[in-house]
Amino acid sequence: MDLKEFLNYEKVVIQCHDNPDADALASGYAMYWFFQQNGKKVRFIYRGRNEIKKSNLLIMVRELQVPVEYEPFFAEEPDLLITVDCQYGQKNITSTKAKKIAIIDHHQKSTSFSGALTYIKSDVGSCSTLCWKLIREAGLLPNDNRLLATALFYGLFTDTNRLSEVSHPLDRDMMDTLVINKATVTEMVNSNISLQELQITGKAILNYDYHPSNKYLVIEAEPCDPCILGVISDFALETENVSVCVAFYASAYEVKFSVRSCSKEVHADELASFLAEGLGGGGGGHMLKAGGTILPDCLTKSARDTIEERLEWYYDRYLVIYAQHTKLNTSTWKAYEKLSQTLGCIKLTDVFPAGTPINIRTLEGDVDTVIDDEAYLMIGVEGEIYPIKENKLLNSYQLTNFVFTREFEYEPRIKNRATGEIKKVLAYAKTVRTLSSAIVFAKPLEQPVKLFTVWTEDKYYSGDVGDYLTVRADDEHDIYVVKGSLFDRFYKPRN
């Protein structure tokens, strides 16, 4: 979506969902500011039965000068209506007639409204992130308006449960880039819970379901600000013999849930995605804290029964393997030879000098390290980025040194943590070719696994049915998972 194309419309209205939250207000604010900066006539409205009453949102509107208007009986027909943080035709937004409709949202696409221009990215943490990206691509800098920058930050902050559910690199880029009024954010954060919500928290915690076999809690709350779910699950996780907590509420519009884990065998983001899969929403975050949304229309039973059932499935489905302490019986497995592949690599001293502390940002997550003379980055066949030392690189790959080119959904970048300077990795990428001498034993998985390799004892790698469990012939503890869709590209049967 190119916002500059919208400048051809004379009368523009931005509308967020009824009962707006901080992300909706920030997103609408960003779109309003874009059109205002370009000299267009624009209004930012919300409708529905209820006017904003939450104290943190009233502070946000007042202190950050959010130009939103409550228009329950709006009767105008603009040339262009842009809905933010929602989708035209959904139950949570009162319909407004317009000659042209555009949608900017970060939820799963759930409306088939024809004729609308859409920019829907459900893998980012907030609609604020999408609006930040769009107005930057249109040539404006949100930091030129510090009040707007603060609103965008707070939109992400609240929609990702105080940033605990941030997973997409665009969200992290916005967090790193925005210059905000910290005092205002602190004021809003400390006005987030009302006395009524304090009661909701207490009542929810008293009515928990504990499952001792796997040490997890399920807690249902009344509909509330999603941040309250984070408060509940954070507090509950401090309980003795509780390793995982799922707190949720169910409303007419959505089922919102928060996941916390202090068990290395359960990644909160993976569990959140599993709970939401196929139910019209989505889940994400990181290993310890995550959350997600389920659409009530996709449920065949109550939200509580659905979550309880899926938690049982999750715990029953996995075989856990600790490679450091495991010797697999491979006597009946097939032997394979590794095929030669052209991949990419970057010598990190070509990017920044040795000794530089860096952050490597990719779609898979952030990696912090310090550059030394042996440090490289590999670019895999699916565009995945991972560090590698020179001796292991030379033992497994031949340096061909041609320019490596590849398209990424999000191009990885390296940040000098000392200076803040950011460089994109592809400018430094060269080709390498895998050596084909390695022999492995492998078999397709018959059930999902969580594999703790000898190099990552605190973090597991997931494998699903149809993926291959693989063991190097010369090292029985070198166990790893290869995706089923990629196995034939990596290996051939040994004659």
pLDDT at residue 7 greater than cutoff 80: yes
Angle between helices 146-159 and 22-37 (to 10 degrees): 150
Q: Cα-atom radius of gyration of the chain, to the nearest Å?
A: 25
What span, in angstroms and rounded, lies between the C-alpha atoms of 487 and 327?
A: 22
The predicted structure's pLDDT at residue 285: 67
- Tell me the pLDDT of the chain averaged across its residues: 90
The predicted structure's pLDDT at residue 2: 94
What span, in angstroms and rounded, lies between the C-alpha atoms of 58 and 99?
A: 32
Lookup: tokens for 226: 């999603």
DSSP-assigned letter for residue 470: E
Q: CA 48 from chain center: how many Å?
A: 30
Can you tell me which residue has the tokens 């009542």?
203
Q: What tens digit of pLDDT does each residue of 255-279 get?
A: 999 999 999 899 888 898 899 999 9
Q: What tens digit of pLDDT does each residue of 174-212 get?
A: 999 999 999 999 999 988 777 888 899 999 999 899 999
What span, in angstroms and rounded, lies between the C-alpha atoms of 13 and 308?
A: 43
For residues 438 and 186, the model is more confident at 186
Give the least confident one: 98-107, 158-167, 414-423, 427-436: 158-167
pLDDT at residue 428 greater than cutoff 90: yes
Can you tell me which residue has the tokens 């302490």?
325
Residues with Cβ within 8 Å of 64's Cβ and at least 6 positions away in sequence, in order, are: 29, 147, 148, 150, 151, 154, 181, 184
DSSP per-residue letters across 345-409: EEEGGGTS-TT-EEEEEETTEEEEEE--TTEEEEE-TTS-EEEEEHHHHHHHEEEEEEEP----S
Confidence at 74, pLDDT banded by 50, 70, 90: very high
What span, in angstroms and rounded, lies between the C-alpha atoms of 369 and 104?
A: 36
Q: What is the mean pLDDT of residues 450-455?
A: 84
pLDDT at residue 287 greater than cutoff 80: no
Q: What tens digit of pLDDT does each residue of 9-23 get?
A: 999 999 999 889 899
What span, in angstroms and rounded, lies between the C-alpha atoms of 12 and 306?
A: 42
Give whole-number Cα distances, 358 to 4, 245, 377, in Å.
35, 34, 12
The predicted structure's pLDDT at residue 78: 96
Helix, strand, or coil here: 466?
Answer: coil
Can you tell me which residue has the tokens 């009515």?
207
Asked whether the beta carbons of 6 and 102 are under 8 A apart, the reply is yes
Which domains are delineated in the chain? 3-187 (3.90.1640.10), 195-317 (3.10.310.40), 322-336+437-493 (no CATH), 340-433 (no CATH)
Neighbours of 137 (CB within 10 A): 12
Q: Is the dihedral of CA 44, 45, 51, 56 positive or negative?
A: negative
The predicted structure's pLDDT at residue 110: 64
> What phi and psi, each to the nearest 5 degrees, are found at residue 480?
-155, 170
